[in-house]
Structures are given as structure tokens and as C-alpha cells.
Amino acid sequence: MNTPNHPPQNISDTDPTLASQDPKDRLELVGLTGDEWKASIGALLKEEKQPAYRGKTLSSWVFKHLATSFDQMSDLPKAFRENLAQKTILHPLTESNRQVSEDGTEKFLWRLNSGHALESVFIPDGNRRTFCISTQAGCPVKCTFCATGYGGFDGQLTPGQIVDQVIQLSHSTGMLPTNIVFMGMGEPLLNAPNVYKSIEILTAPDQLGLGTRRLTLSTVGIPKRIIELAKLHPQVKLAVSLHATNDELRDEIIPLNKQYPLEMLLSSIKEHHRITGKKVTFEYIILPGVNDSEEDARALARIARSTPSRVNLIGFNPFPQAHYGKPTVPQIQWFRNEIATRFDGEIMIRRSRGEDIQGACGQLSLLHADDKS
Ligand code: SF4
């Protein structure tokens, strides 16, 4: 079995964020929750001797007009705009690469001031416009089938760095998302406080105002955080990257399973359903000869039956560092049918998107790793 070739790291959900990368420690405007906005921008307005109503004007430029520069904020005094540019950051991300697939999928590579990189993906599909966004720069979990896992871990993204992906993707594509999935680089529940803040900002009516039901969080499984998510954000859909149906194999391909074995994970998923009433989606990446036997299908069906759920099957999309094969369409179809004879819920075969542009998450940043400053 191949494993990412960097040394093991402690996996913790209290790793520091990349927040203090700005030498002047400026406020990231797009990362302030409503309460933080009132407090921080209220103090700034006082300092600048500006009337309080300008806080709303500024908020409207940031979250409703999606302003790209302070210069656009024509109804704010010029001197105030100049001071805002000194004291705050409008967009913490800078686009450093963009690739467009033949199927319309677009991958964006962003650079932070620190030189670290992260990715987002825009996936158009009929009327659906899905934004797949990152929550960490790299990832400490090191799953063996995931390009991000081979690139190392640089740090937690701030709420502003998470939200700015949505704002900048909306700009670049000219469209707001119909769906947002926390499924890019990183394990969202290892950066839970910042992810929760970003959910607040994305959904608050006087900020981005996107419906909570449009959000899906995908995790390899941190039980206490799954229950916390259910309590704090019951409308956010839960997807669990299962990928193996026994601890022996799951320990091998998802190292975090050693900390949170399957029994704990499945019991937290049941609790999530009890609190939210929502079905979980089990994601299962098909690794030929590794997790796609008849016995695997039987075990997957058993797990899917144990709680209200749907199953998403994804064929592995090869990349140089991981030595798994690519399943054929008949192999995937056979595995699907094996599950379907034992589980009568929804089983989707997810189309692989953007294969011609380094389709799997993390591949674009691995490709450009040498560009890091
Ligand atoms: S699959 Fe998710 S948790 Fe695993 S290494 Fe990739 S980004 Fe991290």
C-alpha cells in the first residue's frame, strides 16, 4: 500500500490558523461575522470619525456588490477609503492559476500573503453551479487516495480565506453558487471554529445570504464535531467519506480512522440524523482490487441500511503519487448493482469532472508546488 511520503504529523483540531500572515495584522472584512462586524467596524468608524451608518454601506459593498476594490465604493469618502485600504483587507486571496476543463469545470489556485496555496473548483451542471471550497491549506490527514494528502499541511484557513473563495469564484464565473461543498483541500472538521464562522457569513441575510440548505460539509469523520455540527447548523447537509467498510482497511487509507474508528463514526452519524432528521451521504471512492469486492459491497449496503442514507460512488481518478488503478465503467456498475440488491436507497455514480485539468482536489497545487515562495 502506498502512503504519502512525508513524516507523520499529529492530527489536531486546534492547529493555529494562518490569520497572522499579514504583516500589519489587518482585519479581513469578508471574514467578520455579523457580531464581529458590529464590534470591529463600529470601533473603526469611531476612530475614523465616520457616522455609524457607513458600517452598513461598507457591508453592502463587501457582501452584496462583491466589490473588488475600495475605489469602487464611490459613496464612501475618499480619505476613509484610503484608510480602509491601510487598516483592512478586502480580499485575502490572490488568484495564481486557473484551468478550464472541456466539460466546463474550472479549477482555481489561490495564493495567500504567506505564499501558501489552496484550491477551489467550480462545477457547472445544468442549472446547478457548485462551488467546491477548501478549509485548510493542504491537509494533515494524508489519505492515500487523495492528492492533497501528499502535499503536506500548511495551516488552517481563516473564515475570510474560506468565504473569499465563494466571493472570488462568483466574480470569476459571473454567477452565485446554487450549492457550496466544503470538500476541497483539508478536513473541515479539523478547522471547525473557522468553518462555522464561514457558514454564518455565507448564510446571514445581511451578508452573503445564501440558503443554509445549499451547503454540504464533507468529512472523513470526527464524531464529536459531527454532533456539534448537527446542533449548530442542522440545515447543513453531511457527507461522510467512508471509502472502506472495516477498520483494518480504513486505518490504512484514512489514517484518522485510527483515532475515530468506524463504530464511533457510525454512532455519531446516527446521532446527527436524530438531531437534524437529515440523511447522510456516504461517499465511496472505488479503488480497484482494494475496496471493491462482493464482500465490500455487502458491508457497504449493511452500513447504508443502518441509518437513513444515500450512497455516492466515485471512480478513483489516478495521479502520479498514488498507485491505484482507475476502475472501468463496468466495474463501477457491477459494484453499484451488488449494493443495490441489498440496499434500496439512492445510489449515485458520481461523474468524474475536470479530468483533463488535474481533476482530483489537491492536484493543481501539487503541480504548482515549486512555485511556492
Ligand atoms: S481526503 Fe480529505 S481528509 Fe483525506 S487527505 Fe484528502 S483532503 Fe485530507
Instruction: Tell the residue nearest (CA) to atom 4 of ligand 1.
Output: 143
- 160 is a domain residue: yes
- 31 is a domain residue: yes
Last residue of a domain, one of 39, 71, 89: 89
CA of 222 to the centre of ligand 1 (A): 13
Last residue of a domain, one of 89, 119, 139: 89
Question: Do 82 and 108 reside in the same domain of the chain?
Answer: no
Question: Do 54 and 138 reside in the same domain of the chain?
Answer: no
Pocket test residue of 133, 148, 241 for ligand 1, highest count of atoms within 8 A of CB: 148
Is residue 361 part of the annotated active site? The answer reads yes
CA of 167 to the centre of ligand 1 (A): 24
Question: Do 272 and 201 reside in the same domain of the chain?
Answer: yes
Question: Do 35 and 107 reside in the same domain of the chain?
Answer: no
Question: Do 72 and 114 reside in the same domain of the chain?
Answer: no
**197 φ, ψ (degrees, to nearest 5):** -65, -40
Q: What is the structure's pLDDT at 7? A: 38
pLDDT in tens, the chain (373 residues): 444 444 344 566 655 566 545 555 789 999 999 999 999 999 999 999 999 999 999 999 999 999 999 999 999 999 999 999 999 999 999 999 999 998 889 999 999 988 889 999 999 989 999 999 999 999 999 999 998 989 899 999 999 999 999 999 999 999 899 999 999 999 999 999 999 999 999 999 999 999 989 999 999 999 999 999 999 999 999 999 999 999 999 999 999 999 999 999 999 999 999 999 999 999 999 999 999 999 999 999 999 999 999 999 999 988 888 889 999 999 999 999 999 999 999 999 987 777 766 655 555 455 544 433 2
- CA atoms of 203 and 252, how far apart (whole Å): 37
Q: What is the structure's pLDDT at 114? A: 84
- 196 is a domain residue: yes
Under the phi-then-psi rule, with left for phi > 0, alpha for psi from -120 to 50, and beta for the rest, what region is 49? left
- CA atoms of 295 and 317, how far apart (whole Å): 23
Domain of 98, CATH number, reads 3.20.20.70
Domain of 39, CATH number, reads 1.10.150.530
Question: Do 101 and 179 reside in the same domain of the chain?
Answer: yes
- CA atoms of 250 and 220, how far apart (whole Å): 10
Number of domains in the chain: 2
Q: What is the structure's pLDDT at 113? A: 83
CA of 221 to the centre of ligand 1 (A): 11
28, 106, 119, 283: the active-site residue:
119
pTM: 0.91
- 195 is a domain residue: yes
Last residue of a domain, one of 89, 111, 127: 89
What is the 3-class SS of the chain, one letter each residue? CCCCCCCCCCCCCCCCECHHHCCCCCEEHHHCCHHHHHHHHHHHHHHCCCCCCHHHHHHHHHHHCCCCCHHHCCCCCHHHHHHHHHHEECCCCEEEEEEECCCCCEEEEEECCCCCEEEEEEEEECCEEEEEECCEEECCCCCCCCHHHHCCEEEECCHHHHHHHHHHHHHHHCCCCCEEEECCCCCHHHHHHHHHHHHHHHHCCCCCCCCHHHEEEEECCCHHHHHHHHHHCCCCEEEEECCCCCHHHHHHHCHHHHCCCHHHHHHHHHHHHHHHCCCEEEEEEECCCCCCCHHHHHHHHHHHHCCCEEEEEEECCCCCCCCCCCCCHHHHHHHHHHHHCCCCCCEEEECCCCHHHCCCCCHHHHHCHHHCC
132, 143, 146, 361: the active-site residue:
361
Question: Do 262 and 314 reside in the same domain of the chain?
Answer: yes
Instruction: State which residues form the domain around 231.
Output: 94-371
Do the Cβ atoms of 120 and 165 come closer than 8 Å? yes
Q: Ligand 1 pocket by C-beta < 6 Å: which residues? A: 139, 141-143, 146, 148-149, 185-187, 220, 241
Question: Do 117 and 147 reside in the same domain of the chain?
Answer: yes
Q: What is the structure's pLDDT at 2? A: 41
